[in-house]
Amino acid sequence: MTYELPALPYSLKSLEPFISEKTLFFHHTKHHATYVNNYNKLINNTVYANKALETVIKETANGNSNLFNNSAQAWNHTFFWNCLKQNGGGKPTGELQLKIESDFGSFEKFIEIFKTTATEQFGNGWVWLVLDKGLLKVTKTTNSDTPLAHNQAALFTVDLWEHAYYLDYQNRRLDFVSTILENLINWDFVTRNLTTNSN
C-alpha cells in the first residue's frame, strides 16, 4: 500500500538545541521523504502494491534489494521520530525500568552498552534496543537493516547515518547519541513498545 510520509510528532524547532531545526528539516523532508517516494515507486504494479509496509520489509528481508532498503528506511525513520520528544531523557520507570535492570544488570550498564555499540557501528546504520525472544538486547544494524528483518521487536533506536547529526555534531557521533539519551529519548514510547510486544 502507498505509504505516506508521516508528519513529525513535534515541531521542527522542538528538539533544539540538541537537534537543530535545519537538521530535522533536511532529515525529514529530504532523506526520509526520498525513501518513502522510492518505496512507493518500487511497489507500484508489483505483488507488493497492496501489502503493508511491515509485510514488505519482512518478505524482502533476505534480498538486500532496493525495495528492502527503501521500505526499511521508510519504517526506521518513522520509528526514530517517535523515539524522541522535547524534554525527554531521564530514566524509565515501572515495568521497563525493572526489565532493563534485570536484563542488563543496571540502567547505567544499559547506557554504557548502548553507547559502545553505537560507537562500534562502522559507517551508516542504526543502534537499537530490541526485545528478542523475551530478552532485551542492544544491537546495531548496517545501512537500512532493521530488527523487523530479524524477528526482533524494536523498542528504541538512534539513527547513526551522518545525515542524522553532521550539521550539529560533525564527526562527534558519541555526543549525538549521549545527548539523545540524556535529553530526548521518549521513554513513554519505549515502554509502550515493550508492553505491545510482551504478550
Tell me the closest approach of the beta carbon of residue 27 to Mn ion, in angstroms. 6
Chain centroid, CA 94 distance in Å: 23
Tell me the closest approach of the beta carbon of residue 163 to Mn ion, in angstroms. 5
Tell me the closest approach of the beta carbon of residue 198 to Mn ion, in angstroms. 28
Instruction: Give the residue with the Cβ less far from Mn ion, 18 or 161.
Output: 161
As a whole number of angstroms, the distance between CA 195 and CA 17 comes to: 31
User: Helix (H, G, I), strand (E, B), or coil: what is residue 54?
Assistant: helix
Tell me the closest approach of the beta carbon of residue 59 to Mn ion, in angstroms. 23
- Which residues are paired to 140 by β-bridges? 127
Instruction: Give the residue with the Cβ less far from Mn ion, 43 or 164.
Output: 164
Instruction: Give the residue with the Cβ less far from Mn ion, 66 or 97.
Output: 66
| Number of residues assigned to the chain | 199
Instruction: Give the residue with the Cβ less far from Mn ion, 35 or 114.
Output: 35
**Measured on CA atoms in the order 12, 167, 172, 38, is the torsion positive or negative?**
positive
Q: Which residue is nearest to Mn ion (CB)?
A: 159
Cis before 17? omega within 30: yes
125-132 and 135-142 as β-strands: parallel, antiparallel, unpaired?
antiparallel
As a whole number of angstroms, the distance between CA 72 and CA 94 comes to: 31
Angle (deg, nearest 10), helices 94-104 and 107-120:
70
Tell me the closest approach of the beta carbon of residue 32 to Mn ion, in angstroms. 7
Instruction: Give the residue with the Cβ less far from Mn ion, 31 or 51.
Output: 31
Tell me the closest approach of the beta carbon of residue 49 to Mn ion, in angstroms. 25
Angle (deg, nearest 10), helices 187-197 and 94-104:
80
Instruction: Give the residue with the Cβ less far from Mn ion, 118 or 164.
Output: 164
Cell of 122: 562502522
Task: Name the residues that contact Mn ion, by CB under 5 A.
Answer: 31, 159, 161, 164
